[in-house]
């Protein structure tokens, strides 16, 4: 699978970028062709905020990570979801 021209929204605290595991992960993402944008949300984003982000970026594929409600993504954006 190609991630060229893909976008990774990094929403963790910026200090985590200095940890070795995170550095390695972000480097791997860059090597896969992902553009990394930092957008700290200070907690968990609510559904309206997630919709705004998706509508603004208009991705062709969405990979939900660290969610307790994958069914919401499937309901709202099922045609664009990439199953892990």
pLDDT digit string, tens, across residues 21-60: 999 999 999 999 999 998 876 667 788 988 988 888 888 8
The single-letter DSSP state of residue 39 is -
> Over the Cα atoms of the chain, what is R_g?
13
What's the whole-model pTM score? 0.60
Q: Which domain holds residue 13?
A: 1-43
Residues 6+ positions from 77 with CB-CB distance below 8 Å = 54, 62
Strand boundaries in 1-84, DSSP class E: 6-10, 34-38
Is the pLDDT at 84 greater than 60? The verdict is no
Distance from C-alpha of 45 to C-alpha of 24, rounded to nearest angstrom: 25
Mean pLDDT, the chain, whole residue set? 85
- Say whether both 39 and 60 belong to one domain: no
Q: Are residues 34 and 72 in the same domain?
A: no
d(CA 54, CA 50): 6
52 and 81 together in one domain: yes
């Amino acid at each position: 699978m190609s991630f060229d021209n893909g976008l990774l929204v990094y929403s963790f605290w910026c200090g985590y970028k200095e940890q070795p595991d995170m550095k390695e992960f972000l480097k791997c993402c860059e090597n896969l062709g992902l553009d990394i944008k930092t957008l700290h949300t200070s907690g968990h984003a609510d559904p309206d905020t997630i919709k705004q982000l998706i509508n603004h970026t208009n991705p062709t594929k969405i990979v939900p990570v660290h969610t307790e409600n994958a069914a919401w993504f499937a309901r709202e954006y099922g045609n664009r979801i990439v199953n892990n």
